[in-house]
Amino acid sequence: MRHRGVLLASFVLVVAGCTLPRRAGLFARTPMAARPIAGNTVAVLPPVTVGNEAAPAMVAARASALVFSGDIAGVHFAALQPTVAKLQEKPDIFPAITRAVASGLPSGFGPAGATTKIFDSNMVAGVKRERRQIITLRQITQSQPLGPARLDAELLAPLGCDYALVSVPFGAYEQQSHIGALYGAIPLAGSKQLISLTPRGVYLLYDCKSGEKVWESAIGALPVAREAITMSDRSLPVLGAAYLLTGDIETPLGRLLDGGFGTDRAR
């Protein structure tokens, strides 16, 4: 009898685990609300790597290739691979863009603002998914400028598009030192811990004709649970960028889920 009970409990737990909604949270600081008008073409550049860790850019590149693999809300995204081919023909362009954007990044930004639910359904892009997808967003519009106000138009002209999307995904780390004080008055113990903050990235949109920055956002994943950062977590800033840029969450989310993100537990 006891074995049956254990089996039944395990079955219930497994079924519950499979059917629990998948919750994902985003936060963003988007000081410029302008969006590319539907019908224009946006070149998605390969993610700029800052620091020594490659994983944030690797996962962001995979996620970008999926998310921006076609039109979203009437905005045409030029695929990553043809853009890389154009950059290979002019090898000075990407290092120059990297130097320009990497120097003006914010040292740190975190969640702020009210939370809104931007998606809640088990039907994503016309396909019924195993788990209901719930996505929330905390956003504020105040922020210091995130990248250079303009890039040299000659750098962007060879891309042959109306706009260029530059992304800088990165991992952020914090060393927290704690002094424990009884009633805040008697310090008795101390500790140090090195923690990884959730994945985040800076997204900048430039007008290829004038070189002017027309949109920018600092986007991160909200900590949903205290567990290892997964590949899916690392793809969330890309999803946020697609949503904030086009106003459509379902199309990019469907592409990520179809591409295997959102189901893995790989770190």
- Give me the residues that bind another protein (CB under 8 A), please: 45-49, 51-55, 57-59, 61, 84, 87-88, 91, 94-95, 98, 107-108, 171-184, 188-196, 229, 266-267
Nearer to another protein among residue 135 and residue 204 (C-beta): 204
Structure letter (DSSP) for residue 109? -
Nearer to another protein among residue 16 and residue 188 (C-beta): 188
d(CA 30, CA 25): 16
Tokens found for residue 173: 């780390």
Nearer to another protein among residue 118 and residue 256 (C-beta): 256
- Where are the extended beta strands (E) located within the chain? 22-32, 41-44, 76-78, 115-124, 127-140, 163-170, 173-182, 186-196, 200-207, 213-221
Tokens found for residue 27: 């936060």
Q: Report, in Å, the least distance between residue 151 CB and another protein.
A: 16
Is the separation of the CB atoms in 124 and 254 below 8 Å? yes
Q: Report, in Å, the least distance between residue 53 CB and another protein.
A: 5
Nearer to another protein among residue 15 and residue 228 (C-beta): 228
d(CA 234, CA 133): 17
Nearer to another protein among residue 238 and residue 249 (C-beta): 238
Cβ contacts of residue 92 below 8 Å, gap of 6+? none
Q: Report, in Å, the least distance between residue 32 CB and another protein.
A: 24
Tokens found for residue 144: 């210091």
Nearest Cα to Cα of residue 134 among 239, 232, 25: 25
Nearer to another protein among residue 128 and residue 193 (C-beta): 193
Q: Report, in Å, the least distance between residue 156 CB and another protein.
A: 16
Q: Report, in Å, the least distance between residue 57 CB and another protein.
A: 5
Is the separation of the CB atoms in 214 and 207 below 8 Å? yes
Cβ contacts of residue 35 below 8 Å, gap of 6+? 215, 245, 246, 247
Q: Report, in Å, the least distance between residue 183 CB and another protein.
A: 6
